[in-house]
Chain A
Amino acid sequence: MDVRSQMSMVFHLDKCIGCHTCSIACKNIWTDRKGAEYQWWNNVETKPGTGYPSKWEDQDIYKGGWEKKNGDISLKGAGKLRGLMNIFHNPHLPVIDDYYEPFTYKYLDLIESPAMTDQPTARPVSLITGKPIDIKSGPNWDDDLSGTPDYARKDPNLLKLSPAEQEAMFQLERMAFYYLPRICNHCLNPACVASCPSGAIYKRGEDGIVLINQNVCRAWRMCVTACPYKKSYYNWHTGKSEKCILCYPRLEVGQAPACMHSCVGRIRYLGVMLYDADLIHEAASEDENNLVDRQLDILLDPFDPEVIASAKKNGIADSTIKAAQNSPTYKFVKKWGLALPLHPEFRTLPMLFYVPPLLPVMASLKEVDNKAQSEKMDPIAKNWNDNWLYDTSTEELWGTIEQARFPLKYLASLFSAGDEEKVKHILKKLMAVRIHRRGITVGDIDEAKVKQAMNDTGLTPEAAEEIYYLTSLAKFDDRFVIPASHREQSIEMLDFTGDAKGTTGFGFKETPARGA
């Protein structure tokens, strides 16, 4: 057992309102620079939709991630031989139009325009060329154009659905969407690290954050191709690739990453998880239907004495082990089994997990004789006194999940490599917690029904309460359990700290030195 610690994340999609505050917080801190304008280390996508960059999930286009061949895994588009063959011309790179051409507006024209009969306008100008452009796309174009045949219907995840199912998703009464915020997954088996010809990318030992060394990067851009989530970006100005750094400078001083800190819906959770590094290769090479289970298997129980002993042997600090025990991500992922990784079939073992959105049918449509019904309409209140057309009652306990507005197949394509049962089980659990809470707060649900829901999902009332607390009431310190990073210990490995003692703060303006 080779126990290591990893900063892992959980995004609760039911709570995401798609406000993009996270994206803006991230952009303001990290990517508001020349050459990085188009980069959104954190972006929020609308599903169904093609995402950012367009159709990033379609690896037939971008050749990202790992693929299993003869029982072992190899990089799909940027392996050793293929990487070398394509080193001077990487044929699968996204182009700027796959992301979008970054733009600003000539706001000064609004102020400095001479008096005219028309209102002045601020023309959009490209942030790359500086010339006026027609805006073709943006970082979340799906949101603005959701449901158009050009974008939402070209979602690669829809390919697994039958044409009838696809059509059903876009029927007016069933139409639904939800948001999918994405950052770097800081994978356990990162394809970007494996693909880098310069060895510039590495996974930090102490917290598993994947970083690109800007001094070593030689702009081969193999990581851009290799990352199936397209979360490594090439900065055309500096000639280096960049990616989400999980705000490690903030983590090191105990603050949550900017995107998580600013999250309005409080959908984001951050915590340490312990895992067994010896099993990574094995888990990533697993068959597609077992991938999620095997990935969850290598995440270890931080209360297990054997795990703790092994962790200590590997130099993991007590504070980190304690943080792992309190980790909200451990609870969501392992204890309650509510969260799944995004596209596990890419085999990078992502450490960002999602609680899938519960999108039940709020009502069902009935076909009735309109003439007879219209006579029943109250002429003053202008409403019907029965549920003739838009029926919101639910007789069947799990009926609404079976006929959720998003076919389970769609969610399964995103979160469980096609395994519908897994998604269904989680949705049932989420529903059970709601039924449980409604029984308590409103009391209009029959106790037997609550019990049945609990039994079906294997939840205890205590666990349901815990889930409810962490989902709805959790405070800052509950959502983000960040252990001390012990930088003072790491610096002692390299330098003698006594030399630097007293060199900051009050003291000499110019340090006296012998012989000067």
Chain B
Amino acid sequence: MKQSKLIFCVVLVFFNSAIFAQQNPELLFNSFCSTCHTINKGNLIGPDLVDVHKRRSDEWMLNFIKSSQTMINNGDADAVALFNEYNKMIMPDAPYSTDEIKSIIEYVKTKSPDYVAQADGSKSSDNVNTEPEVPIRSVDDATVSEIEIGRMLFTGEQRLEGRGAACISCHNVKNNKLIGGGLLAKDLTDVFARMNEAGVKAIVGSSPFPAMREAYQNAVISDEEVYNITAFLKYANEQQYDQQARDYKQYFIWASGICFIALLGIYSFAWRSRRKESVNQRIYDRQLKSAPY
């Protein structure tokens, strides 16, 4: 009885969320697209999507959102041009169904100034007014201590508030203050140069990349942490040419070899009085004429 109740609850939650997600293109947009794209707020990592429907056909957009790399590899001229224009940043494939993507495209259309003006001019202006612009602090103003906190968050010396994995688990940054980081994801030494401040902040805050998205799904990185980490990445980018590239790989091999030998030494000392051979080994050695099989 208890079990069936539980199953019912679980099914209900799943069902609800599915419906909810399907009926909310805004939510879909915010959770996946908005990391790199804005509507009428300028280019981030990807282009501003305002009036995109005037530049591209719906079908083209659908295919590009589904899998941009497939289009680029197939040699679609517009897609290749766009890819080159935006630093060859790969746009991840959207994890949405065709219907959902269509609803997002529709949603973007409704946000174009023409459409807004046409639908309800007064209301939209109200909307703009009710959203007070929070002054965004640039990482250029970051203090030394904030950069230091960013470094500690990056290396995991200070735990992320959301209990997520430290950046260093997957990423490397060439910096003297760090030991070598993970090689699972991109090297972030010059990420600040490749993407601007807004791009880095956006990706750290809510990543569009599937692996990172999955990893931080339940471990939200707070705005303050995003700021600190971004500040550190900026610092790392600026400092990168002064840093000595430390090759830990060799070192680790040697260190492990030395530790291994030291351990063997400790063990053979601790068990120095152990029995090393059979009581009669000497007799056998003398008596056995044939080679051991």
Complexed CA–CA distance, A352 and B287 (Å): 36
Do residues A54 and B275 form an inter-chain contact, with CB atoms below 8 A?
Answer: no
- Answer whether residue B18 sits at the interface, using C-beta atoms and an 8 A cutoff: no
| Chain A proximity mask over B252-293: 1 for CB below 8 Å, otherwise 0 | 000000000000000000010111011111011001111001
Taking A136-B288, A150-B283 as contacts, is the C-beta distance between A54 and B278 under 8 angstroms? yes
Q: Which of B274, B275, B278, B293 contacts A133 (CB 8 A)?
A: B293
Q: Which of A93, A97, A134 contacts B281 (CB 8 A)?
A: A97
CB contacts under 8 Å to B, within A48-96, are 50, 53-55, 61, 86, 89, 91-96
Q: Chain A: residues with CB nearer than 8 A to chain B? A: 50, 53-55, 61, 86, 89, 91-98, 131-134, 136-137, 150
Complexed CA–CA distance, A302 and B45 (Å): 99
Do residues A137 and B275 form an inter-chain contact, with CB atoms below 8 A?
Answer: no
Complexed CA–CA distance, A89 and B284 (Å): 25
- Nearest B residue to A137 via CB reads B280
CB distance from A215 to the nearest CB of B (A): 30
- Nearest B residue to A96 via CB reads B278
Do residues B279 and A136 form an inter-chain contact, with CB atoms below 8 A?
Answer: no
Q: Which of A61, A96, A134, A150 contacts B290 (CB 8 A)?
A: A134
Q: Which of A92, A131, A132 contacts B275 (CB 8 A)?
A: A92
Complexed CA–CA distance, A173 and B287 (Å): 29
For B274, the chain A residues whose CB sits under 8 A away are 89, 91-92
Closest 6 CB pairs of A and B: A91-B274, A97-B278, A54-B279, A136-B284, A91-B271, A55-B279
Complexed CA–CA distance, A285 and B273 (Å): 27
Q: Which of B273, B279, B289 contacts A98 (CB 8 A)?
A: B279
Do residues A91 and B290 form an inter-chain contact, with CB atoms below 8 A?
Answer: no
Tell me what chain B mostly uses at the interface: helix, strand, loop, or mixed.
loop
Question: How many residues of chain B have a CB within 8 Å of chain A?
Answer: 16
CB distance from B10 to the nearest CB of A (A): 36
Do residues B278 and A95 form an inter-chain contact, with CB atoms below 8 A?
Answer: yes
For A97, the chain B residues whose CB sits under 8 A away are 277-278, 280-281, 284
- Nearest A residue to B288 via CB reads A134
Tell me what chain A mostly uses at the interface: helix, strand, loop, or mixed.
loop
Taking A97-B284, A136-B284, A136-B288 as contacts, is the C-beta distance between A131 and B293 under 8 angstroms? yes
- Nearest A residue to B273 via CB reads A91
Complexed CA–CA distance, A511 and B231 (Å): 81
Q: Which of A55, A89, A132 contacts B271 (CB 8 A)?
A: A89
CB distance from B38 to the nearest CB of A (A): 61
CB distance from B280 to the nearest CB of A (A): 5
Complexed CA–CA distance, A58 and B52 (Å): 93
For B284, the chain A residues whose CB sits under 8 A away are 97, 136-137
CB distance from A220 to the nearest CB of B (A): 16
For B289, the chain A residues whose CB sits under 8 A away are 134
Residue among B274, B283, B290 with max Cβ neighbours from chain A (10 Å): B283
What are 14 A-B interface contacts by the 8 Å CB criterion?
A: A50-B280, A54-B278, A61-B275, A61-B279, A86-B271, A95-B275, A95-B278, A97-B281, A98-B278, A98-B279, A132-B293, A134-B289, A136-B280, A136-B287
CB distance from A390 to the nearest CB of B (A): 35
For A53, the chain B residues whose CB sits under 8 A away are 279
Do residues A95 and B280 form an inter-chain contact, with CB atoms below 8 A?
Answer: no
Complexed CA–CA distance, A133 and B287 (Å): 13
For A55, the chain B residues whose CB sits under 8 A away are 279
Complexed CA–CA distance, A511 and B127 (Å): 83
Complexed CA–CA distance, A73 and B278 (Å): 29
- Nearest A residue to B284 via CB reads A136
- Nearest B residue to A86 via CB reads B271
For A150, the chain B residues whose CB sits under 8 A away are 280, 283
Residue among B279, B281, B284, B288 with max Cβ neighbours from chain A (10 Å): B279
CB distance from A17 to the nearest CB of B (A): 27
Complexed CA–CA distance, A55 and B281 (Å): 13
For A96, the chain B residues whose CB sits under 8 A away are 278
Complexed CA–CA distance, A137 and B283 (Å): 10
Complexed CA–CA distance, A363 and B140 (Å): 113
- Nearest B residue to A136 via CB reads B284
Complexed CA–CA distance, A365 and B279 (Å): 37
Complexed CA–CA distance, A131 and B291 (Å): 13
- Nearest A residue to B270 via CB reads A85
For A98, the chain B residues whose CB sits under 8 A away are 278-280
Complexed CA–CA distance, A136 and B290 (Å): 12
Complexed CA–CA distance, A96 and B277 (Å): 10
CB distance from A431 to the nearest CB of B (A): 37
Complexed CA–CA distance, A65 and B271 (Å): 20
For A136, the chain B residues whose CB sits under 8 A away are 280, 284, 287-288
- Nearest B residue to A141 via CB reads B280
Complexed CA–CA distance, A467 and B156 (Å): 85
CB distance from A210 to the nearest CB of B (A): 25
Taking A91-B273, A132-B293 as contacts, is the C-beta distance between A50 and B288 under 8 angstroms? no
